[in-house]
Chains A and B, each alone.
Chain A
Amino acid sequence: MNIQIRKFYYGDIPEDTAQVGSNHSTTNENAWPLWEVFIRSKQGLDHKHAGSLHAADAAMAIENARDVYTRRQEGVSIWVIESKHVHASNPDDAEMFYEPASDKIYRHPTFYDLPDELKHM
């Protein structure tokens, strides 16, 4: 049994799953490309991934992001990038990527005795 779980963000239902189980062509040539949206909040120093949306071009993507993700004053700066330009690590590589780090707790700076005068560490 092959169970596939995929995570979708608000507004992001990829065309390739729109007609699961049918024989129809699942590619919609007229669909606008997908964009990933990053928002920096007023207090934040970094842009955080907010979700994704569809837009015909970068200008429209920024405006859509403004309308969809900053309506409630969530941010003061927007980055967008077309989703196809994002390269992701392969889940199949998880073991060799991440597990070797799990038994190397000495990489955390937790074995030092800090002087009391030192704050905010």
Chain B
Amino acid sequence: MMNENKLVSSTLQLADSALILGQRNAAWCAHGPILEQDIAITNITLDLIGQARNFYQYAAKLMNEADNKNETEDTLAYFRNERDFKNYLICELPNGDWAQTILRQFFLSTFQSLLFEKMMQSSDTQLAAIATKSIKEIQYHLKWSSEWVIRLGDGTEESRNRILAAVDYLWMYTGEFFIPAAYEIFNAADLQQDWLHHVAIVFEEATIPFPAENQFMQTGGKTGMHTEHLGFIIAEMQSLQRAYPGAEW
């Protein structure tokens, strides 16, 4: 039973992170800096929401089997409260400008590419299957966002200032990936060196100075202790289902 709760919580953690970042990125729809990039970020959004659906469906199945509940992907996304969400804090932060959105995507895609590679080897065949399906999408997100980080960092004075400001703002939210929550079945702590290594390669190409070691890192998202931003996201995202429960297209 304990293991099963861990499995459910870990699956929800992965689902929530994909959903909340997807919801954030979706706000760029029709506001992208140029039509082609508007479509690109929206594609990434749809990939993330697709991942979230796979994880939620699996979590719902596990919960229903264990406790005779009646959960679905929709009840998990639309009828859980702020404190129940387990997403990384970085996912819920405001979009800011294009540089901030890009850099957040780069940080998360780098992490996801490492985590999902590990998940592909999982003894849980369902999680392994979801990871195998998602990794191709993530590799593209990583390529796309890496190139943007390089383009902005090694671009104009304006773009450089913006990406440097984004590094300042986002860096303290990157430590949370690697600090395991009690329920987590994938220990991400040993992915940190690989993550730092990959980020350093891209930062060097982008001529972005690498942040100093041992900085203070924010935590709490994985255990439901969120920033003030998540409540607003959830209020907007859930309002329709809360007002008209079970509404369908």
Contacts and interface: CB of A to CB of B under 8 A. Distances in A.
Given A32-B34, A54-B34, A63 B147 contact: yes
A55 B147 CA distance: 13
Contact of B43 (A32, A55, A67): A67
Interface in B127-180: 143-144, 147, 151
A68 B34 CA distance: 12
Contacts of A60: 147, 151
Contacts of B144: 63
A32 B144 CA distance: 17
Contacts of A55: 36
A14 interface: no
A59 interface: yes
Interface in B1-55: 34-37, 39-40, 43
A11 B147 contact: no
Contacts of A64: 36-37, 39-40
B36 A67 contact: yes
Contacts of B43: 67, 71
A32 B34 CA distance: 10
Given A32-B34, A54-B34, A68 B39 contact: yes
Contacts of B37: 64
Interface in A45-76: 53-56, 59-60, 63-64, 67-68, 71
Contacts of B143: 63
B146 to A, nearest CB: 11
Given A11-B36, A32-B34, A64-B37, 14 more contacts: A53-B35, A53-B36, A54-B34, A54-B35, A54-B36, A55-B36, A59-B147, A60-B147, A63-B40, A63-B147, A67-B43, A68-B35, A68-B36, A71-B43
Interface of B: 34-37, 39-40, 43, 143-144, 147, 151
29 contacts: A11-B35, A11-B36, A32-B34, A53-B35, A53-B36, A54-B34, A54-B35, A54-B36, A55-B36, A59-B147, A60-B147, A60-B151, A63-B40, A63-B143, A63-B144, A63-B147, A64-B36, A64-B37, A64-B39, A64-B40, A67-B36, A67-B39, A67-B40, A67-B43, A68-B35, A68-B36, A68-B39, A71-B39, A71-B43
